[in-house]
Structure 1
Amino acid sequence: MTASAPGAPPGSGTRRPDPERWPDVAEVPRCGRARAALAQSFVRRAVARLPLCVTLPDGRTWGRGGPRLELRDPVAFHRRIAVDGLIGFGESYQAGEWEAPDLVAVLTVLAAEVRTLVPQPLQRLRGMYVRRRPAAQRNTTRGARDNIHRHYDLSNDLFASFLDPGMSYSAAVFRTLPANPSHLWAAQQRKVDRLLDLAGVGPGSRLLEIGTGWGELALRAAERGAEVVTITLSEEQRRYAQRRVAEADPPGRVDVLLRDYREVTGHYDAIVSVEMIEAVGAEFWPEFLRVLDRRLAPDGRVALQAITMPHDRMLATRDTYTWIQKYVFPGGMLPSEEAVARISAERTSLRLTRSDGFGPHYAETLRLWRERFTARTRHVRRLGFDETFQRMWTFYLGYSEAGFRSGYLDVRQLLLEKPPLQEGGESST
């Protein structure tokens, strides 16, 4: 994925994003004056209630004070907000039309107030003005492969530029906060070990991992003597994980398969999946959980690590097309803990028996990733990722970090179990 330099204020001499590669970022959408003026009024009213300071090119300021958002091209910014709401807000950052000395601080304020940014009367009309998710992003068997390919097959070298040596792309568990960068790999291994312990994985365990990543969890399970089947839809990740397994030669066995979760066969003592349910899509959560139910042996355990959001916000936004879905995780949707528990109880024999949250640890994980990514700008550029992509990725990491710092998002390790069988082989439920 390559393009030209990011957008900048008129007259800056910096080229705007390449319209062939970044069409919706390169071109400011057309918008009537009345609509743009309405968007500007909406922004000013929202900022007046928030602990933010918005500065304009002529030196004027809006807001009550706080983290600073610098509007470099107010006309383009308000047009994008008027046409595409929060998608336009993110695209405006990609285009360089606004900047922030402390991006995460600005985004944390917005995340903390997300329920009140849009006035209540307008929230009731949400279905009339928000964009709907494209049908092409549905996580059918074919669609899921395309969605995973768009994110995870970008480049192993890109992910290696900011992840730990074990290439874990999920929340770490640190001993203390704030986190020390040198402790990231150990914290990622601690996360993996906690999940394996939760699932009861040991010598001889038959383990199914849904979502291989780059192989760290499968390897650590095999080091315990487990027999592991791990599945992925990413060809790049599969090759990388297979190479790691061959080089490590652990005492357990690891089979890395290019396979959809709906295509898995066999029965397993334990099933583990790390931040995979978010990629399934709300439409397919029942099928995903039914697959876990069918593939889990009696007395087995399912350990999921999942990014979660409040149930009311999940219901309000489940059909909305977001900036993250457009540019980073096509087809993705964060569940609520309540949704997982309810669907499991209604559609499967699984029951949620334990839930441990550690959202502040994800905020620190994302901070470390963002700082490392930012520090390796030249390296990332040499890999073929232009400045527009780098602004997009910086915004994505900062946007995600802000979600956890504000408490709007959480990450949880969930244990799902089947009720014990009664005499005669029937479940107690």
Structure 2
Amino acid sequence: MTLDTTGGSAAQLTSNRWSQITRVPRGPVGAAQGRVAEALLRRAVRQLPVRLQYPDGSIVGAADPTLPTLTMHRPDALFRRVGSYGLIGFGESYMAGDWTSGDLPALLTEFASSVDVLIPRALQPLRPLAVVRHPRSMHNNPAQSRRNIAEHYDLSNALFAEFLDETLTYSSALFQTSRPSWSDLADGQRAKIDRLLDVAQVTAGTRMLEIGTGWGELAIRAARRGASVHTITLSTEQLDLARRRAAAAGVADRVHVELRDYRDVDGRYDAVVSVEMIEAVGYRFWPVFFGTLDKLVRPGGRVALQAITMPHDRMLASRNTYTWIQKYIFPGGLLPSVEAVVGITERSTSLRTVDMFSLQHGYAETLRLWRERFVQRAPALSALGFDDTFQRMWELYLAYAEAGFRSGYLDVYQWTFAPTGGHP
């Protein structure tokens, strides 16, 4: 099937956003902040199994050359960015080419495993004074939610097709092997979808709602079981391709794809399914999201989510801050914690957990395969209009996420709820 690239404009993206990447903080304040950042990074590296390499070849950290190494090309720019903008500056410095690493996921995994080492305990109470506050434009009301989703998912269907497998599934796969290859990915995605449909009890005659269509694979597989599927998305790019894929699969009569916000859906469904969409809802709207799920599922039905989670203390610390991921990859998003989801559902809905299944290792491997493919497809991405800065940004994003799962900082669950029949 031919993928059209209308919608997101890579040329516009680069011209509008990269000007800030070329600017390095100047003046005595920038220099002072850079010196502090350098001292903290050198201190951290001495306590971790990683190395810091300067342009002259000098090394800070262990002598073992096999350890993950952060290779600096423009150390002054790196330290000034980090000193001024924290982790946003660290990410922007990679985008600008100030530093590289021969094993980016391994380096980031060590950092993700050692947050307390990176920021000394004595300085952690000052963190709220240093972080960038979340802009009001990220508030996920219905209009802003559509803009936020478009910024990521409407970049170009062809972009995603370059590094996703044939199912065009953009979430964790479920593998039967600990070290899968690219040839295992499509089957792993189908296995993930089938397991979620099984726990949601989707069979012939099921009336199913999917919140977050993606490119239609889950809806198609549910329809092939004989279900009647209503699937909603805020991405115009995904809407068009999902409809065409359902038609090509011969299930268009059982799959209704609609551009609609989850808050605007009415009716009752036997099953409500959503894969890695809650991450885009936003902290302040989690109660609304789960209240909507509770309203839409019929008594005796099932709600099945696939949801990425982070530790509760880190979620509380980051819920009001602005991160590199939010600025460049997923505007308006925040990962929930298990405690937050359980608290909201038990306080405010009739939904109760009946099953949780972790795909943590599977997601690390999924991200590895995507990242390797993304890097391999660099010439094709350039031909689509995605320049070197964009490609470094997405390589960092994929490696950053992989490191989160490898370190145990992040988890992902297929999480099944059943309504109890009444609110607490």
> 1:307 touches 1:409 (CA, 8 Å); kept in 2?
yes
Unpaired runs of at least 5, structure 1: 5-16, 422-426
Cα distance between partner residues in 2 of 1:231 and 1:169? 16
Summarize deviations over 1:156-215 as a string: whole Å, max 9, x none. Answer: 000000001110000000011101210100100000000000100001101000000000
- Structure 2 counterpart of 1:396: 397
Structure-2 change in CA distance of 1:99 and 1:298 (3 Å): same
Summarize deviations over 1:307-357 as a string: whole Å, max 9, x none. Answer: 111111111111111100000000010011111111000111111222111
Cα distance between partner residues in 1 of 2:407 and 2:270? 37
- Structure 2 counterpart of 1:322: 323
- Structure 2 counterpart of 1:407: 408
> 2:246 touches 2:252 (CA, 8 Å); kept in 1?
no
Greater mean alpha carbon deviation, residues 310-319 or residues 196-205 = 310-319
Aligned residues: 411
> 1:278 touches 1:306 (CA, 8 Å); kept in 2?
yes
**Aligned: 1:63 with 2:61:** yes
> 1:39 touches 1:79 (CA, 8 Å); kept in 2?
yes
Alignment map for 1:266-415 (pairs within 5 Å): 266-415=267-416
- Structure 2 counterpart of 1:137: 138
Structure-2 change in CA distance of 1:428 and 1:306 (3 Å): closer
- Structure 1 counterpart of 2:24: 28
> 1:223 touches 1:252 (CA, 8 Å); kept in 2?
no
> 1:225 touches 1:252 (CA, 8 Å); kept in 2?
no
| 1:24 shift after superposition | 2.1
> 1:2 touches 1:21 (CA, 8 Å); kept in 2?
no
Summarize deviations over 1:255-286 as a string: whole Å, max 9, x none. Answer: 00100000001100000000000000111000
Structure-2 change in CA distance of 1:302 and 1:174 (3 Å): same
Cα distance between partner residues in 1 of 2:80 and 2:371? 29
Read off the aligned partner of 1:114 and give its amino acid letter. Answer: V
Summarize deviations over 1:91-138 as a string: whole Å, max 9, x none. Answer: 000000001011111111111112332112221122111001111011
Percent pairwise identity: 55
| 1:251 shift after superposition | 8.5
Alignment map for 1:72-221 (pairs within 5 Å): 72-221=73-222
Cα distance between partner residues in 2 of 1:314 and 1:188? 28
Structure-2 change in CA distance of 1:43 and 1:167 (3 Å): same
| 1:428 shift after superposition | 8.9
Structure-2 change in CA distance of 1:384 and 1:428 (3 Å): closer
> 1:3 touches 1:388 (CA, 8 Å); kept in 2?
no
Name the SS for the 1:176 alignment partner.
coil
> 2:359 touches 2:411 (CA, 8 Å); kept in 1?
yes
Larger relative helix fraction: 2
> 1:308 touches 1:335 (CA, 8 Å); kept in 2?
yes
Name the SS for the 1:300 alignment partner.
strand
Read off the aligned partner of 2:24 and give its amino acid letter. Answer: V
> 2:350 touches 2:423 (CA, 8 Å); kept in 1?
no
- Structure 2 counterpart of 1:12: none
| 1:34 shift after superposition | 2.1
> 2:349 touches 2:423 (CA, 8 Å); kept in 1?
no
Cα distance between partner residues in 1 of 2:172 and 2:16? 35
Name the SS for the 2:36 alignment partner.
helix
| 1:19 shift after superposition | 6.9
Cα distance between partner residues in 1 of 2:308 and 2:332? 15
Q: TM-score, normalised by structure 2?
A: 0.94
Q: 1:47 aligns with which of 45, 48, 58?
A: 45
**Aligned: 1:38 with 2:25:** no
Q: TM-score, normalised by structure 1?
A: 0.93
Structure-2 change in CA distance of 1:108 and 1:87 (3 Å): same
Read off the aligned partner of 1:317 and give its amino acid letter. Answer: S
Structure-2 change in CA distance of 1:73 and 1:3 (3 Å): farther
| 1:20 shift after superposition | 4.8
| 1:252 shift after superposition | 6.4
| 1:35 shift after superposition | 2.0
Cα distance between partner residues in 2 of 1:278 and 1:396? 15
Cα distance between partner residues in 1 of 2:345 and 2:318? 21
